[in-house]
Amino acid sequence: MVIKSGLEYRQSLKQRKRMNIYFMGEKINDPLSHPIMKAAVNSIALTYDLACDPEYKHVMTTKSAITGEKINRFCHIHQSTEDLIKKVEMLRILGQKTGTCFQRCVGMDAMNAVYITTFEIDEKYGTDYHKRFQKYVIQAEENDWTIDGCMTDPKGDRSKRPSEQKDLDLYVHVVKRIDDGVVIRGAKAHQTGAINSHEHLIMPTLTMRKEDKDYTICCAVPADDPKIIYIYGRQASDLRRLDDSESGDIDCGNPEFGGQEALVIFDDVFVPRERIFMNGETDFCGRLVETFAAYHRQSYGGCKVGVGDILIGAAATISEYNGTKNASHIRDKITEMVHLNETLYSCGIACSSCGQKTSSGNYLVDILLANVCKQNVTRFPFDIARLLHDIAGGIFVTMPSAKDLSNPETAKWVKKYLSGVEGIETKDRMKMMRLIENLVLGRAAVGYLTESMHGAGSPQAQKIMIQRLVDIELKKRYAKTLAHIKDES
């Protein structure tokens, strides 16, 4: 098996066909060297480099459940609760090292959900989806693919079903069925790392009814299919990466790493039969969506915690630079940040530890606890960010540009009036302030705060699952038993 390095990953992207990529109204011919897009490539490349690093390969790599060969964990079908725990540990490490979204989680979570669902469809209908998907997983392992898990459709009028929309393309659907495959049309929104991926694994976005049969499609397509169009999403302060090297490095806050989202349009893409893993089985859409959501909600107990570690470190550092580190209220706020962050991690570990083996052979997290984990993620990162805002002070959003630090006419004033504790360079204080801005307001805030709220489903989606899964009647019996209340027969 191949475990690619970051360099080999970059080379594999260069080997793709030219893709239809647009940013700010212009077609982009070389996304790998684009100053805004390359930071997201750096984030994914780290997932490859750490798999080759002796210090991290114990958590970044594992043994294939199908072939027994050594593989990158991002291509793995989980075989134990230990696998689920190591996944969370891996995501926390990568969050700590990138400070942003590293874009491979969705594909890993999609693979495990599709693995379960195809097995169960075959059990009921005698189809061969699972065998097809196993072959696809082996390909992913052998090539160490980055896979973009595609679930979220634009949705149009949310009060209407997919087949009721005025524009039927607002959900990905089959427009033609032929002997050797299907043709699909539609779009997927908020696609994390789409342009940096080798493959798209497409899934339905909600539970479908019989009238939505054409929207019940799960399949895989190469990212460089000529019928796919990518429209790159804007992020706060993204144009700062276009500044010259030194000022851009300071003002963008996180000079090396970044995330990426895109609107991905499938404009009559042909999918061969062997790459179709669900095709009209509406009764299994709910199962696929539920399992994928559970895996992805577990993921947030790792990646967002890793980024949270950086926020805590930034709070402690800037309090030192500001001369406030010994203030009791500052210490108390940082302690609260740690408490919130470790609570999120505890949830990620808990839903992993309580996972169970499925009939397909891979392990699924405890779905109730995974939803509790993500529900906490919709809240706690915002409290952590609020405390960082408080500790940093307002200068992190009103500070002059790094160009004013390098301009001889203004440099002396910037150095004089933006200084902090004696012995700390003004430039270093500015760098830390810009990192904080990036984490809570800028590009990284997309991968931290916005994803915390909307990634893996809205807060209401988790509440619905919690309501569905909790056994309220059992809890009532506990209370009545202690109170010596007997139910009427």
Q: Name the helix (H) or strand (E) containing 26.
A: strand 26-27
Question: Which distant-in-sequence residues (6+ apart) come within 8 Å of 102 by Cβ?
Answer: 43, 44, 46, 47, 94, 95, 257, 259, 303
Report the C-alpha gap between 192 and 149 in whole angstroms. 8
Query: From residue 97, how far is each of 164, 317, 384 by CA, in Å?
Result: 45, 17, 18
Chain centroid to CA 431? 26
**Helix locations, 323-379, DSSP H:** 328-353, 367-377
Q: Note the helical H segments in 241-284.
A: 245-251
Q: Return d(Cα 117, Cα 359) in angstroms, integer.
A: 10
Residue 58: exposure state from Cβ atoms within 10 A (0-12, 13-18, ≥19): exposed
Rounded Cα distance between 124 and 126, Å, is 6
DSSP state at residue 195: G
For 485, other C-beta atoms within 10 Å of its C-beta total 10
Return d(Cα 290, Cα 308) in angstroms, integer.
27
Q: Which helix (H) or strand (E) holds 87?
A: helix 81-98
- Integer Cα distance of 53 and 349 in angstroms: 24
What distances in angstroms separate CA 380 from CA 72, 229, 396, one per listed residue? 31, 36, 22
**Nearest alpha carbon to residue 110 among 89, 129, 128, 137:** 137
- Residues ≥6 apart with Cβ < 8 Å to 155: 170, 171, 205
Instruction: Give the strands of the sheet with 199-202, arranged side by side.
Output: 147-150, 199-202, 217-222, 276-279
Residues designated catalytic:
101, 105, 192, 261, 296, 300, 303, 451
Cβ atoms within 10 Å, residue 160: 12
368 in Cβ contact with 470 (< 8 Å): yes
